[in-house]
Chain A
């Protein structure tokens, strides 16, 4: 089946690498007094200060990592996998917009809502997609070779 563009299979490992790599970077940065650029109202005025570079190194690394994991091909990418992708994407959008609307009404902190939006849809997509793949594989393995 011809499907839309997806990253090669190995991008999944690259993606997890980025997600894992952002953790020590984030810890080291914060231990040296860095804060997230979104917490700094003046950060937008100077893009290349250390706070913004720290933001690039952590939040962007994690978001790109999750993006690669979410949109890397499976080993065998067939039409059923494609349907599971669409299903997961739909649920990720539902959940994202539910959180977005609730936080807009109840919290009103628009700066952190942006940060939340960077990774919530991707993370929920990955969780639901992997869960569906796991469920798909379970009965198939029990009756393998029949």
Chain B
């Protein structure tokens, strides 16, 4: 379970995040949507203890993320290139993550097989360093890296960015399947409303750092509400 308590983050005068109380139950799959500058990435960074909150806290499984590191053992995340060690090959990167998560090399190889469709023969065995891959393939490497230790909490910022339509679809199915298999708590931010509505049973709409709507998305029912908010006209 993730609990947000009186969380405030300011950058100078601007209040980037201001959330009184919000709970994400274990096994929830939450989509975070909002315009640029709404505070999605800042909220993720606060949840991962990569930013200092001015007030309040984020708890993962009753652990205040800023006080104790144990939550890191059950969490996987990918926000941007700052998570990638770009001078490694993808194989080395996955082995490295496996090692620090206590997963053997063979187990890493076995776990990677489920991502074969996503990797599309373009990532493994290329003898290329991560920095020399396209933005889309870097995105895939980051997402796979985040999921490699089968985390109970998975946080992905804009996972559909830079990906071709096929890969977007594969990622969508992969996340859905992972959620069904593991009942993990998954947080995804995205500008792609269709994908978010397709896979997330719950959607939080963020505006100027506030969660202004908490939408239960049963069978895609949130789509109209979101379209109205974002003023998408046919």
Chain B binds chain A: no
What residues of chain B have their CB less than 8 Å away from a CB belonging to chain A?
A: none
